[in-house]
Amino acid sequence: MARLVMKFGGTSVADIDRIRNVAHHVKREVDAGHEVAVVVSAMAGKTNELVAWCRAASPMHDAREYDAVVAAGEQVTSGLLAITLEGMGIDARSWQGWQLPILTSDAHASARILDINGAELIKRFKERKQVAVISGFQGIHKDTGRITTLGRGGSDTSAVAIAAAIQADRCDIYTDVDGVYTTDPRVVPRARRMDKIAFEEMLEFASLGAKVLQVRSVELGMVHKVKIFVRSSFDKPEDIDPHGTPPGTLICDEEDIVEQQVVTGIAFSKDEAQISVRHVPDRPGIAAAIFGPLAEASINVDMIVQNVSADNATTDLTFTVPASDYQRSLDVLGKSKSAIGFDRIDGATDVAKVSVIGIGMRSHAGVAADAFKALAGRNINIRAITTSEIKFSVLIDAAYTELAVRTLHSLYGLDK
Ligand code: ASP
Ligand code: MG
């Protein structure tokens, strides 16, 4: 017998038929003797609709009321799944974040989980084999008693946090893909599903725009050592052996991966914009003058490249921001022009970031150099490069994204 968290995303609970399909997945695990806590998202598209309603009601709405509205999507699906399970003769009860409770910070719309009380769930597992159906995405701030939400995609984080709180043996993330791939299979049809990936690598994938998991859920899993298993909710529930190993990707400690490859996968994002601030004075405080105002405007700056000044007087600074923040960034910098003292700003939105990820890079030299050579062989110009211990990223013209990804995917032997 194991204790499992089963998390189902929006497409998996998009309508009553799919909720019934989810209920069959749950029944399979219950019948196998497992203790089960289910975490559900809102039906696909519902959260977007609720967000749009808030904006329509007032563009400047209070984040506390936004949370009151958007938490409703998960309330509906948890109740519906509990009803469906009960109808199949399975003892089940729904739980809202405030009922457990899931205590969070008061950062409305992007709250952090502080503590979860899983005692009542465990008691009910033991006493009556009751399935807990928990609304993802939401919690409560203790002092104010107000409902909070965890930021878009937050149900993943709810699931991993609950798994840690009830000491689950595994947190299964059921989604519309059957695992984590070496890159997007729509771009590289030969992309492979990975059997295992280390937390650190998955953190990079998630941060770099692979939409499988919310970044915070991976961080939490890493800290609490929760085994996270990404698998498909569209596999037929009756075809799955609850004691076997289903297809999927296990996110785990790097020590649990026997055959570690140097490069694990390629991530990319076209959702980038490049900003170059030209001829800024080369003296202390300039980076702060540029990035301070951007940070205050909550603009997430990513790749930063500063030239070494040639004349000891001025230099250029290039960085990237999310494409959606491009115009706002230009406005913010424009306002600080006299404080920064730049000559002009060049920008581009038709750029893409391609990143190569792998823990093995820590101990292998020349991994990036191989990539630069391969990209040059395809006549792909690199605008900027950043590196960290386990990944490097290149900024290129967006038109070459697919070619670059395919080239690197074969270069590192990731094609099946
Ligand atoms: N329903 C929320 C969203 O769409 C949370 C989630 O699905 O994880 O962002
Ligand atoms: Mg999601």
Domains of the chain: 3-255 (3.40.1160.10), 266-411 (3.30.2130.10)
Report the range of poorest mean pLDDT among 54-58, 198-202, 210-214.
210-214
Report which of 134, 74, 140, 73 is spatially closest to residue 101, judged by C-alpha positions. 140
pLDDT interval class at 245 (50, 70, 90):
confident
- Residue 152 Cβ inside 6 Å of ligand 1? The answer reads yes
| pLDDT score recorded for residue 392 | 96
- Residue 221 Cβ inside 6 Å of ligand 1? The answer reads no
Give every CB contact of residue 106 below 8 A, 6+ residues apart in sequence. 141, 143, 144, 146, 148
Whether 330 shows a pLDDT value over 90: the answer reads yes
Whether 238 shows a pLDDT value over 90: the answer reads no
Whether 259 shows a pLDDT value over 90: the answer reads no
Give percent above pLDDT 90 in the chain. Answer: 89
| Protein residue with least CA distance to atom 6, ligand 1 | 153
Whether 211 shows a pLDDT value over 80: the answer reads no
| pLDDT score recorded for residue 202 | 96
Residues 174 and 12: beta-carbon distance below 8 Å? yes
- Residue 47 Cβ inside 6 Å of ligand 1? The answer reads yes
- What tokens appear for 21 in the block? 């399909």
- Residue 138 Cβ inside 6 Å of ligand 1? The answer reads no
pLDDT in tens, 17-64: 999 999 999 999 999 999 999 999 999 999 999 999 999 999 999 999
| pLDDT score recorded for residue 207 | 85
The alpha carbon of 51 and the centre of ligand 2 are apart by a number of angstroms equal to: 16
- Residue 66 Cβ inside 6 Å of ligand 1? The answer reads no
Give every CB contact of residue 132 below 8 A, 6+ residues apart in sequence. 36, 37, 38, 92, 93, 95, 121, 124, 125
Using the Cα atoms of residue 47, residue 50, residue 56 and residue 60 in order, give the sign of their dihedral.
negative
Rg (C-alpha) for the chain, rounded Å, is 23
Say how far apart CA 8 and CA 335 lie, in whole Å.
45
Report which of 143, 191, 136 is spatially closest to residue 161, judged by C-alpha positions. 136
For the CA of 42, the nearest ligand: 1
For the CA of 151, the nearest ligand: 1
For the CA of 176, the nearest ligand: 2
Q: Which residue has the higher pLDDT, 257 or 71?
A: 71
What would the DSSP string read from start to end of 355-372?
EEE-GGGGG-SSHHHHHH
HSE-CB for 412 with a 13 A CA cutoff:
31
50: left (phi over 0), alpha (psi -120 to 50) or beta: alpha
The alpha carbon of 96 and the centre of ligand 1 are apart by a number of angstroms equal to: 15
DSSP 8-state class, residue 263: -
What would the DSSP string read from start to end of 169-227?
SEEEEEESSSS-BSS-TTT-TT--B-SEEEHHHHHHHHHTT-TTS-HHHHHHHHHHT--
Whether 187 shows a pLDDT value over 80: the answer reads yes
pLDDT interval class at 258 (50, 70, 90):
confident
The alpha carbon of 47 and the centre of ligand 1 are apart by a number of angstroms equal to: 6
| pLDDT score recorded for residue 235 | 84
Mean pLDDT of all residues in 294-314: 90
pLDDT in tens, 347-402: 999 999 999 999 999 999 899 999 999 999 999 999 999 999 999 999 999 999 99
- Residue 110 Cβ inside 6 Å of ligand 1? The answer reads no
Say how far apart CA 285 and CA 288 lie, in whole Å.
5
pLDDT in tens, 288-298: 999 999 999 98
Q: State the CB neighbour count (10 A cutoff) for residue 99.
A: 14
| pLDDT score recorded for residue 33 | 95
Give every CB contact of residue 207 below 8 A, 6+ residues apart in sequence. 215
Say how far apart CA 398 and CA 349 lie, in whole Å.
9
Report the range of poorest mean pLDDT among 107-121, 241-255, 364-378.
241-255
Say how far apart CA 313 and CA 310 lie, in whole Å.
8
- Residue 41 Cβ inside 6 Å of ligand 1? The answer reads yes
- Residue 155 Cβ inside 6 Å of ligand 1? The answer reads yes
Say how far apart CA 197 and CA 260 lie, in whole Å.
9
- Residue 219's alpha-carbon distances to 258, 269, 400, in angstroms, are 22, 21, 32
Whether 239 shows a pLDDT value over 90: the answer reads no
Whether 79 shows a pLDDT value over 80: the answer reads yes
The minimum-distance atom of ligand 1 relative to the CA of 41 is 7
Say how far apart CA 38 and CA 124 lie, in whole Å.
14
Report which of 131, 265, 279, 255 is spatially closest to residue 185, judged by C-alpha positions. 265
| pLDDT score recorded for residue 312 | 82
Whether 194 shows a pLDDT value over 90: the answer reads yes
The minimum-distance atom of ligand 1 relative to the CA of 152 is 9
Task: Please state whether the predicted TM-score (pTM) of the whole model is above 0.95.
Answer: no
| pLDDT score recorded for residue 120 | 95
| Protein residue with least CA distance to atom 5, ligand 1 | 153
Distance of CA 22 to the CA centre of its chain: 22
Mean pLDDT of the chain: 95
- What tokens appear for 230 in the block? 């990404």
Buried-exposed string 272-286: b where 16+ CB fall within 10 A, e elsewhere:
bbbbbbeebebeeeb
| pLDDT score recorded for residue 246 | 87
